[in-house]
Amino acid sequence: MNLGDILHKEQIITELRAANRWEAIDELIDNLVATGKIKAEDRQPISAVVKKRETSMSTGIGFGIGLPHASTDLIYEVVGALGRSKKGVNFEALDNQPVNLVMLFLVPQGQFQKHLHTLANIAKLLHKKEFRQALENAANAESMYNIIKDTAASK
């Protein structure tokens, strides 16, 4: 699973309103509900499992990246949403820097290998400085989505 398989332009928020990681997670989960990727009645339990994972250790991995993620039995395929913040989100990141790109994803319960593989692919892609800069400078969600698709296709 790579970013191009998980995201569509409707699942990209070009300007997160969030000031901290908890608000960012809520905003991205709200997007997944709004786009029909998760059921409205599953919003709260999914939010709880993502936040529980985040409480154990921040997924702010440095370089302005946050990767909140979790496994849940409330979904049947990998789903995700990407948020961008020009002002930066306090994610309590490992390097203590604000996060500009937050990629939340969920994996069906029991698919441990897929979870690790997806996390590794997303992290590897977002560690590329040119890719991050292109996403940060893109004019809109469609441009961001095209950058993701083009980069994923060229791998």
Here the CATH number for the domain that contains residue 100 is 3.40.930.10
How much is the average pLDDT of 143-150?
94
Instruction: Provide φ and ψ at 95, rounded to 5°.
Output: -95, 10
Please say if the pLDDT value at position 155 is more than 60.
Answer: no
DSSP 9-61: GGGEESS---SBHHHHHHHHHHHHHHTTSS-GGGHHHHHHHHHHHHHHS--EE
Q: The tokens of 121 are what? A: 């692919």
Other residues' Cβ atoms within 10 Å of the Cβ of residue 131:
17
In total, how many domains does the chain have?
1
CA distances for 62 relative to 77, 141, 151, angstroms: 27, 23, 21
Query: Which pLDDT belongs to residue 1?
Result: 67
Tens digits of residue pLDDT in 93-146? 999 999 999 999 999 999 989 888 988 888 889 889 999 999 999 999 999 999
The angle, 0 to 180 degrees and rounded to 10, between the axes of the packed helices 21-34 and 43-56 is: 150
Q: Which domain holds residue 96?
A: 3-153
Query: Which pLDDT belongs to residue 119?
Result: 87
Query: Which pLDDT belongs to residue 152?
Result: 74
Mean pLDDT, rounded, of the chain: 93
Tens digits of residue pLDDT in 18-58? 999 999 999 999 999 999 999 999 999 999 999 999 999 88
In degrees, rounded to 5, the angle at the alpha carbon of residue 80 between the alpha carbons of residues 144 and 98 is 65
Of 119 and 90, the one with more pLDDT = 90
What is the C-alpha to C-alpha distance for residues 38 and 13, in angstroms, rounded to an integer? 17
Please say if the pLDDT value at position 3 is more than 90.
Answer: no
